[in-house]
Every structure is written in structure tokens, then in C-alpha cells.
Amino acid sequence: MSIDLNARIPNNVNLAEDRRLQRALESWQPTFVNWWKDMGPEGALNHDIYLRTAVDVAAEGWAHFDYVKMPEYRWGIFVAPPVEGRTIGFGEHKGQAVWNEVPGEYRSSLRRLIVTQGDTEPASVEQQRMLGLTCPSLYDLRNLFQVNCEEGRHLWAMVYLLHAYFGRDGREEAEALLERHSGDPDKPRILGAFNEQTPDWLSYFMFTFFTDRDGKFQLSSLAESAFDPLARTCQFMLTEEGHHMFIGTTGVARVVTRTCQVMKDLKTDDPERIRSAGAVDLPTLQRYLNFHYSVSLDLFGQEISTNAANYFTAGLKGRFEESKIDDDHHLNDDTYSVTMFDDDQIKKIDCNALVAVNERLRDDYVTDCQLGVDRWNKILRKYKIDCRLALPHRGFNRYVGSFSGATITPDGDLITAAEWTKGKDDWLPSEHDRAFVISLQKPVTEPGKMAGWIAPPGRGIDGRPLDFEYVKFH
């Protein structure tokens, strides 16, 4: 696959050979750059930032690091190389050749999936746009901008698919992706979690851990798609996604570490004393975790979903690591055990596996989240602190699916609405918690220095030292 890095839109999809498509994307480009200037990172247009830019799709050497100003970032269109003779891995077309065009009957479903995916990418940039003003270090600031630029590239990836394969409605959808805005009461983003605020860096680390991880699982199931351009696009996006979740895992770990140090120094577990020392107490961390986990669980959709079954049967969206699953990949006769809220009770119900593919993906996600929590708990153990962080019950604080509206504690106890109102501030960040966390957000921009509420990272980026000048201000 030839890579054209010098084109106005760097790409490995032979854009130069399709003048119509090239012109269409080049006319979308200024809209994107204007959106970036209006809705992207605040006050950061002129910084020189040590960023990685995707320049290839090979496993090694796909990224190039250098100082870049964000509006000049080379957002490109990169898709994984085609696999010779690839066949459809699941659903009713299993075994047939993958599609390089959109079948008419699946056009609106595919468009909807691509639009939903595409909508989340600029949404996250909008949610994070004020964070640069309060970075805990230059290292963190650089990582934030890296993620923002790559989410911008993920938007490009979906816009390319819309323009290349969906004609006029694709172009209209591409425009609309920059017209909806996170939290806008009139034109909100499509999915709930992407209309929440990310007002502080603790929220941001939780978001990159929990919500970018939804991205990992959704992109993995779209990477199985029979529509090969979508599959290949998502495969390459997953390469970038690893770093986003790394930021979340290590970001929270560094906050936990700092909290442990303060607890040991002061020999206390009193939240007020820990807060007075400028660190985040463990109960507050747990409440932030509860919030971000529960809103991210909602992103997987309903437990029982005929939409999801139809996507699967049609071959549009598979399961996580579909090819590694040992079954017939049709699922017509299989069952899957689903935890649901039914008849005012939490129940495990055996369902047809087809309608339960959303839930299966959610289960895979839960398992992956637990690994991160285990890692954080290792830090607590190392500091000989008895408290542990935990994922709340899956029915806690849910607004999508059968648990929506049920009042369930993090431990999984069913309670009354009155008990919920009374207990809520113990389980979710209160106004008071948020005000405290926000009060910690003071920018630290001297190379190598860290804010007091977070420990330094284990190492720098691209082999650079921690006190490297990751961002140069002008």
C-alpha cells in the first residue's frame, strides 16, 4: 500500500486517484480546522508540542515524533493493509468474501454505526478542551494533546468512510459530526457519556481508563466487520487506542500512589486530613471510579438488543476477538447468561446468544476493567493500606438497559428511591467532592515538576527524560 505523506491529506488510500473524493475531503478539511480552533484545546493553538504523528501502518515505525503546533497536525487517513482472501467471520454471510462496497440492504445500519462511532471522537475533544489550562505537568499536558489529536484523526477515519462509501448522505453526516456538540442542550452528542463534563484531571484519567476502553471494545468488534474498509480502519485506530488507555491506567495509578504516600506520611486514613495535605482521599477516588464506570457501561446498549442481533447476523459488527471464539459464529441455537433487572429483581437469565451480543461485549469489558483495578490495588497493598478499590455492581447508576431507573447500591443491594437519595453522595462524586478536586487543579508547567496530588510517571515519552520540554509555550 503506498503512503502519500506529502498530500494535503496524508493517506494510504490512494486519495490522489479519486479526485472527487479528494475534493470532497479537502472541502471538509477547513470545516474541521475551524472546529478545532473553536472547540479544540483552549489557548493551545500556538504551543509547540512533542507529538507522535501516524505516518505508516506497519507494526513498527508507524509513528513519527516531533514538535508540532496542533492546528498543523497532519491528520491523515490510514487503514490497515487488506488481508488477501479475507472472508466474513460470522453471521449469515460467514465464509463469503468480505465486501469492499456497502450492500444496499445494510446501508443505513452501517451508516448509523459509523456515525455513532464518529460522533464520540470529536465529542471527547470537546469534553477535554479546558484541561490544558490546569495540567499537573508538561508530560501530562503533552499526553492530553496527543490524545486530542488522535481522537481528531479517528474522526477523520470515520469521515473518510462516510465520504467514500455513502455519497450525499455520507457528506451530510460528516457535516453534522461537527454541528453536534458535547453537552449542547439543542444538538447533543449521540451517546450519554459523551455529554458529561470532563472538568478536572481525575475525571480525565477515569475517562481515558473507562470510556476509551469502551472504544477499544467497540472498535474491536467493528474491526471484525464484513465491510472491509470499516474493519481495516478500526484495526489501525486500535493501534493508537493503546496509549489512551495507558494514560488512564497509569494516571489513576499515579494518583493512588500519591494518596498512599500522604496516608503513610501522616499515618492517617481520615479523608479530611488527606485532603488538607493536597491529595485525593480513597473514598473520593472510588466515587469517581463508580461514576465513570457506570456511565461507560451504558455505552454498550441494551442487554437484549435486536439491533445488535441484526448487526451480528448481517456481519456488520462482531464480538470481541471473534475469530478466537470457539463456536459456530452463527449463534442461532446458542444461549448466553445475562444479568438483568426484571420484575423488580436482579436476575441471571439464559437468553438467545444473538440478542445478547451487546451484553457479551459488556462482560468482556468488565473483565478488562477489573485488571486495571487489580493493578491499582497492588499499589495499596504495597503501601500496606487495607482499603481496596472495586468496580461497583453493574446495575449501579445505569440509564440504558434493564437497570435503567433501578436503585441499586455499588454492592448490588436493591434499595428504595429514598435510600438512593440519601446514599447517593457516598457513592457518586458530590458537588463538594467535585469542588475539592477542582481546587487541586493548578497548572504546573515547569519541565519535570508535578502537581502535589499526583506521583510522577515511571518514564517519559519516546525515551525522553521526565524533565524533557514536552510542550513549548509561545
Q: What residues line the site for ligand BYC (CB under 6 A)?
A: 113, 116-117, 120-121, 124, 151, 191-192, 211-212, 214-215, 218, 298-302, 305, 307-308, 317, 358, 400
Among 119, 200, 212, 298, binds Fe ion (CB under 5 A): 212
Inter-residue contact 162 to 171 (CB < 8 Å): yes
- Binding at 296: pick from Fe ion, ligand BYC, none (beta carbon under 5-8 Å per type): none
- Cell 453534522 locates to 176
Inter-residue contact 224 to 90 (CB < 8 Å): yes
- Residues in a beta bridge with 348: 339
Q: How far is the CB of 274 from ligand BYC (least distance, A)?
A: 30
Among 180, 244, 317, 360, binds Fe ion (CB under 5 A): 244
Position closest to ligand BYC via CB: 301
Angle formed at CA 90 by CA 87 and CA 95, multiple of 5 degrees: 35
- Burial of 421: CB neighbours in 10 Å, binned 0-12, 13-18, 19+: exposed
Contact positions with Fe ion (CB under 5 A) in 452-471: none
Nearer to Fe ion, 158 or 356 (CB): 158
Q: How far is the CB of 216 from ligand BYC (least distance, A)?
A: 8
Nearer to ligand BYC, 228 or 303 (CB): 303
Inter-residue contact 327 to 289 (CB < 8 Å): no
Q: How far is the CB of 343 from ligand BYC (least distance, A)?
A: 21
Contact flag: residue 154 with Fe ion (CB under 5 A): yes
Nearer to ligand BYC, 22 or 339 (CB): 339
Q: What values do phi and psi take at 332, rounded to 5?
A: -60, -35
Q: How far is the CB of 288 from ligand BYC (least distance, A)?
A: 16
- Binding at 299: pick from ligand BYC, Fe ion, none (beta carbon under 5-8 Å per type): ligand BYC
Number of H helices and number of E strands within the chain? Answer: 12, 5
Q: How many CB atoms lie within 10 A of CB 411?
A: 10
Q: How far is the CB of 362 from ligand BYC (least distance, A)?
A: 9
Inter-residue contact 391 to 369 (CB < 8 Å): yes
Contact positions with Fe ion (CB under 5 A) in 88-127: 121
- Residues in a beta bridge with 77: 11
Determine the size of the site formed for Fe ion (CB under 5 A).
Answer: 6
Contact flag: residue 153 with Fe ion (CB under 5 A): no
Q: Please provide the size of the chain in residues.
A: 474
Nearer to Fe ion, 215 or 315 (CB): 215
Nearer to Fe ion, 119 or 433 (CB): 119
**Radius of gyration, alpha carbons of the chain:** 23
- Binding at 191: pick from Fe ion, ligand BYC, none (beta carbon under 5-8 Å per type): ligand BYC
- Binding at 307: pick from Fe ion, ligand BYC, none (beta carbon under 5-8 Å per type): ligand BYC
- Binding at 408: pick from Fe ion, ligand BYC, none (beta carbon under 5-8 Å per type): none
Q: How far is the CB of 222 from Fe ion (least distance, A)?
A: 12
Nearer to ligand BYC, 307 or 377 (CB): 307
Q: How far is the CB of 372 from ligand BYC (least distance, A)?
A: 15
Nearer to ligand BYC, 163 or 360 (CB): 360
H or E, element range at 352: strand 345-352
Nearer to ligand BYC, 120 or 259 (CB): 120
Cα gap 181→189, rounded to integer Å: 6
H or E, element range at 347: strand 345-352
Nearer to ligand BYC, 281 or 303 (CB): 303
Task: Give the per-residue SS3 of 250-297.
Answer: HHHHHHHHHHHHHHHHHCCCCHHHHHHCCCCCHHHHHHHHHHHHHHHH
Cα gap 230→457, rounded to integer Å: 35
Inter-residue contact 161 to 233 (CB < 8 Å): yes
Which stretch in 42-50, 81-89, 146-154, 311-319 sits in contact with Fe ion by CB under 5 A? 146-154
Report strand pairing: 471-472 vs 48-54. Answer: antiparallel
Nearer to ligand BYC, 124 or 441 (CB): 124
Binding site for Fe ion (CB under 5 A): 121, 151, 154, 212, 215, 244
